[in-house]
Amino acid sequence: MNANGHHYSLDELNALVDTKQEAEVTVRTDAHLAVCDRCRRRYVQLFRIDRSLRAIPLPETGREFTQTLMIRLSRGARTPLAFRLLEHGASFLGTLVIMSVLASAYLLLGSPAETGRDSAPFGIIARGWSTVSGGVSLAVQWMTEHLTALDGLGSYGVWAFGIGAVLALVVADRLLTRWFLQKVR
């Protein structure tokens, strides 16, 4: 009988099945279970269910599971040179294509000031290009005024373009390589 002097609830009996009780509680519960058919029957039922749940067989993975996994792991740790060349080559080509399209658009369409064409879609591309080149010009101007230590290193515009191009290539390479790997693996 529980502390309230009633039959045990299923939750209380469940707790008895799961946990080792203190000696005093065990004596009390055993005494009740010895004389109460209802609680004893429920307790035995839950105990059997508990034991049977532990005996449910586990599913088995496929025979090749571990081997496949280890191959995947070794590929990740030691990517073959050919594969690395392929993935970086693909992303490099992708970057070149994107840059070529942008350069072609600029060369074909010119800037809005030069062509007077500012209607969509050509105008949008030309204006976007103009904005970017304007930003670069501003950055170069700022560098010319403030970074006097760079005097004598050549045209700031060339340096800025070079650094920007390398950064763009690195970022594009990472993004495209990730995309490529997701597609391949």
Contact residues for another protein (CB under 8 A)?
10-11, 14-15, 17-18, 41-42, 44-46, 48-62, 65-66, 68-70, 72-74, 76-77
Looking up tokens 């670069």, which residue turns up?
A: 136
Q: Quote the least distance from Cβ 170 to another protein, whole Å.
A: 23
In contact, 184 and 87? CB cutoff 8 Å? yes
Looking up tokens 């529980």, which residue turns up?
A: 2
User: What is the distance between the alpha carbons of residues 92 and 112, in angstroms, rounded to a whole number?
Assistant: 30
- When the beta carbons of 52 and 119 are compared against another protein, the nearer one is 52
**Within the chain, how many helices (H) and strands (E) appear?**
8, 0
Helix ranges restricted to H, the chain: 10-18, 23-35, 37-54, 65-77, 81-109, 112-115, 122-146, 156-184
- When the beta carbons of 43 and 129 are compared against another protein, the nearer one is 43
- When the beta carbons of 47 and 142 are compared against another protein, the nearer one is 47
- When the beta carbons of 51 and 117 are compared against another protein, the nearer one is 51
Q: Quote the least distance from Cβ 6 to another protein, whole Å.
A: 13
Q: Quote the least distance from Cβ 55 to another protein, whole Å.
A: 5
Q: Quote the least distance from Cβ 64 to another protein, whole Å.
A: 10
Strand ranges for 56-133 from DSSP E? none
